[in-house]
Amino acid sequence: MTSEFLAHAVEDIPSLRAVFVTAMPDCLLYDSWLRADSDWKVEEVAAYFGDLFRANREGLKSLGSWSADIQVTLESPDHLILLKELSADFVCACVFERGAALGMVRLHLQRLVERVRSNLPKFEVTERPRGVRILEFLNRYAPDPHAVLLRISLRTRLPLERLEQPEDLDEAGVRQLEETACEILGLKSLNL
């Protein structure tokens, strides 16, 4: 899929401001389309929406309510944002103008999702090393991100050089990293 494809796929949706396709579980931007006047940082937005969708999914699972067909709707003063799972490996976030009618928005979303889904690549997604994903999560959510690696090194006593290659951390190292991430974020566990 190319951004040209997305640009074409959204042509008949005037109230749409942006589309982000996020590859899961790593919350990496796969593709995006922005209306010309937007200056959003697409990688960041895609990552946060991926985390949001995952958190919703886990929350619903804990209620025994999960279905692959769910849709998350966010309403802010400026935007209407809808998130939907495209496949097990991709999530789509669509940002509409706030004034758009919800019914029309849902219709547009349904059509857009069908177009995009049919053009998704079929490939085997390899989950990246957990150490890498934990560090990326920390860089997104930890306070003082400029100091995160130093803080982890000090808490775990793992050398900085090892933490700079998180893909090479052994099981014990990843476990220490995860425990420390939970300490820093004040979480009981990371849902990654």
Partner 1 sequence: MDDLKALSTELPGQDMTFLGDTQYVYHCHHFNLFHDQTIEDALGEEKAFEVRSRAAQDAARQLLTDVVRKCGAETPAERLQLATALFPWMGQGSLELLSGEEGGKARGQYLHYSFAWREKYGSKIRRRFPIDAFAAGFAAAATEVAFDLPPGSLTSSEASCFVCREPECSIELSRQEARPTPTPVSRNAIIDGVGAPSAGRNEDSIGQIAQGLKEFLIGIGGDQRGLVQGFGIYVTRHLAAYYNATAYDTIHAIEESSPASTPVVEELFGESGHVCAFYTCGNILLSPEWEAMVGPLKGEVEEVVSACVGICRALGFGHWTVEDLVPNERLVMRCSSNYEAPFYLERYGKSSKPRCYFFANAARAIMQLAHRVDWPSRPQLDEALYQSLFKTGLGWNMEQTACMSRGDDYCEVAITAK
The residues binding partner 1 (CB under 8 A) are: 141-147, 150-151, 153-155, 157, 159-160, 184-187
What six digits make up the tokens of 119? 């053009």
Q: Which is nearer to partner 1, 15 or 153 (CB)?
A: 153
Helix, strand and coil in the chain, % to nearest 5: 45, 20, 35
Q: How far apart are CA 56 and CA 45, in angstroms?
A: 16
Q: Which is nearer to partner 1, 15 or 156 (CB)?
A: 156
Residue 17 CB, nearest approach to partner 1 (Å): 22
Residue 132 CB, nearest approach to partner 1 (Å): 18
Contacts of 38 (CB under 8 A, 6+ apart): 17, 18
Residue 18 CB, nearest approach to partner 1 (Å): 20
Residue 152 CB, nearest approach to partner 1 (Å): 9
Q: Which is nearer to partner 1, 128 or 151 (CB)?
A: 151
Angle subtended at Cα 36 by Cα 47 and Cα 139, rounded to the nearest 5 degrees: 20
